[in-house]
Amino acid sequence: MKVTVDIPAIALSQFVTPTLSEPRITLGNISWQQYETLVTTLSPRPSLRLSYNQGLLEIMTTSSQHEMIRSLIGRLLETYAWVENLDFYSYGSTTFRNETAVRGLEADESYCIGQRREIPDLAIEVVITSGGIDKLEIYKGLGIGEVWFWQDDCFTLYQWVNAIAGYQEIERSQLLPNLDLDLLCQFIDPEQEPQMVRAYHQALQNQKR
């Protein structure tokens, strides 16, 4: 069975000649089959993020700034895991889908902690430009334990309650209760990535003395 998706030319032009740092288009009345076809078709392009919620599809192109911050946050968290002797299993920006809940997306970074599972325990989203689809509503149908949003130089954390209540905002990570997020934030400077990773490692070592 052939599945096609009609994307308006005016919307498609945002990706060809973008005027925004992270252009996005939103399409309505997209079936699950159409969504899965697009995931397969566009998967060779890692800069594209597809977010799908019950017929509503958002396609966004991530900026270089977005990708640099995403990568650095991942490196810093993996440095923390190394120092604390924690078992982190990376899923990166794998697409996670739940056909029953009719939801799916690619997190910027995602991890299982302790052992690998079918879905990650932690997902991280980098927000450069506000607006767009409500990703927490998508995560609500995926059941990922914690979702962290990095925006305006700080983290906002949410913990999954259940499929009905969704998420509640929390002050500290329940998955990583000893992680000092204020300290971590001091080292999120992608222009000095190597220095930041080394300095964060040293800061963690100093804390343990």
Give 169's strand partners. 158
3-state secondary structure of 112: strand
**pTM to 2 decimals?**
0.88
Q: How far is Cα 112 from Cα 114, in angstroms, rounded to an integer?
A: 7
Pick 22 or 123 by higher pLDDT: 123
Q: Give CA 38 to chain center in angstroms.
A: 19
- The structural domain count of the chain equals 2
52 and 80 belong to one structural domain: no
Q: What is the pLDDT of residue 10?
A: 42
> What's the rounded mean pLDDT across residues 75-99?
95
**Domain contains 3:** no
Q: What is the pLDDT of residue 181?
A: 96
Mean pLDDT, the chain, whole residue set: 89
179 and 102 belong to one structural domain: yes
Q: What is the pLDDT of residue 95?
A: 92
**Domain contains 87:** yes
Q: How far is Cα 69 from Cα 19, in angstroms, rounded to an integer?
A: 21
Confidence of residue 199 (pLDDT cuts 50, 70, 90): very high
119 and 145 belong to one structural domain: yes
154 and 69 belong to one structural domain: yes
Give 123's strand partners. 110, 147
99 and 172 belong to one structural domain: yes
**Domain contains 129:** yes
The answer to whether residues 122 and 65 touch, using CB atoms and an 8 Å cutoff, is no
CATH number of the domain to which 180 belongs = 3.90.1570
Confidence of residue 93 (pLDDT cuts 50, 70, 90): confident
170 and 88 belong to one structural domain: yes
52 and 104 belong to one structural domain: no
142 and 195 belong to one structural domain: yes
**Domain contains 145:** yes
Q: What is the pLDDT of residue 8?
A: 53
Q: Give CA 108 to chain center in angstroms.
A: 3
180 and 118 belong to one structural domain: yes
Which residue, of 36, 61, 86, is where some domain finishes?
Answer: 61
3-state secondary structure of 84: coil
Q: What is the pLDDT of residue 46?
A: 72
Pick 131 or 60 by higher pLDDT: 60
Q: Is the pLDDT of residue 179 over 60?
A: yes
- Which residue segment(s) compose the domain that 49 sits in? 9-61
Q: What is the pLDDT of residue 42?
A: 85
Most confident of 14-18, 22-26, 62-66: 62-66
**Domain contains 1:** no
125 and 185 belong to one structural domain: yes
Give 155's strand partners. 150
Q: What is the pLDDT of residue 4?
A: 57
Q: What is the pLDDT of residue 3?
A: 52
The residue count of the chain comes to 209
138 and 161 belong to one structural domain: yes
Q: Is the pLDDT of residue 196 over 60?
A: yes
**Domain contains 151:** yes
Residue 155: partners with Cβ closer than 8 Å, 6 or more residues away = 148, 149, 181, 184, 185
Looking up tokens 């060779």 gives 44
Q: Closest by alpha carbon to 171, among 186, 184, 155?
A: 155
**Domain contains 162:** yes
**Domain contains 178:** yes
Looking up tokens 């995926």 gives 142
51 and 95 belong to one structural domain: no
